[in-house]
Amino acid sequence: MSSAVLALGRTEWKLLSRNKAVLISATLVPLLLGFVLANNIPAGAGPAAWSVVLGMQLLAVQGFTLYFTTTATLASRREDRYLKRLRSGEVSDAAILSGLLLPVVLLGLVQTVVVVGIALAVGAPAPVNPVPLVLAVLLGAAMSMAAGAATSAWTASSEQAQITTMPWFLVLIGGAVWVSMSGEITPLTYLVPSGGVMDLVRVAMTGESLLAALPATGALLAWTVVLTVLARTWFRWEPRA
C-alpha cells in the first residue's frame, strides 16, 4: 500500500469523523441492529436459524457502513471539488479512490468482527466451515462498495445520500427477508444481491461442502462485476451541474 493511499486514508478519516450524520449511520446503526437481531432469536435455535441472524448482521454492516458511507463520501468529496483537486496531482485515479475508501473498508471489517462476536457471545454456534463466511464478508463488501460508487454519481451531497440509497437498501434487506422466509435456496435466490450473502452464511453455519457455496459465490461476483461496470460508466469526478 503506497504512502499516498495511507495519507489520503488518514485525511479522509478526519473528514469522516466530523460528519456526525454519516458517522452515526456507519457505526451505531449497524451495531444496534446486530445487537437487536442477536438478542431476539429463541433460545436453543439451531445453525440454520442463526445463519439468518448472521446474514442479516453482515448485510446491516454492508448496507450502512460500506454502501451508504461510500455513496456519501464520494458524493461529498466530488461536490466540494476535493476529487477534482486530487486528480490534478500525480496520484492515480485508483490510488485516490483507494485512499478515500480505506477508512470505510477498515471500519466495515471491524464492525463485522464485532457483530459476529456479539452473535457468538449470546449463543450462536461457531461456523462449521468458516471459508464461506469469509467469502460472504469479502464479496458482500466488494459488491456494496461498487454499488455505493455507482449511486454516488446520482447523489448531490452526503445529506441527499439518505434518499438516493433507499432503493438499494430496500432491495438488499427486502431480498434477505424474502430468502429467509422462503425456507429453500433456488436459482431465484441469486437474483437479489443479498441472496448470495445469505446462502454463503447458511453454508458456513450448516457445514455443507464448499461446492454448495459455488452458486452464491458466482452470483456475488456477477453482481459485483455489473455494479463495477455501472460505477465506471456513471462515476463523476467533477460537481454535478
pLDDT in tens, 130-149: 999 999 999 999 999 999 99
Task: List the domain range (segments joined by +) for residue 73.
Answer: 3-234
Residue 240 forms part of a structural domain: no
125 belongs to a structural domain: yes
Residue 239 falls inside a structural domain: no
Domain assignment present for residue 202? The answer is: yes
State the pLDDT at residue 194. Answer: 95
User: Which cell goes with 54?
Assistant: 448472521
In a domain? residue 223: yes
Residue 129 lies in a domain: yes
Burial 194-218 (b: 16+ CB within 10 A, else e): bbbbbbbbbbbbbeeeeebbebbbe
In a domain, 241, yes or no: no
CB contact at 8 A, 205 and 127: yes
Task: Report the chain's mean pLDDT, rounded to a whole number.
Answer: 88
* Entry pTM: 0.92
pLDDT band at 119 (very low <50, low <70, confident <90, very high): confident
Q: Is the pLDDT of residue 38 over 80?
A: no
Q: How many domains does the chain have?
A: 1
Residue of 60, 233, 237, 81 whose CA lies nearest to 150: 233
Contact between 158 and 73 under an 8 Å Cβ cutoff? The reply is yes
Q: Is residue 140 part of a domain?
A: yes
Q: What are phi and psi of 55, to 5 degrees?
A: -60, -45
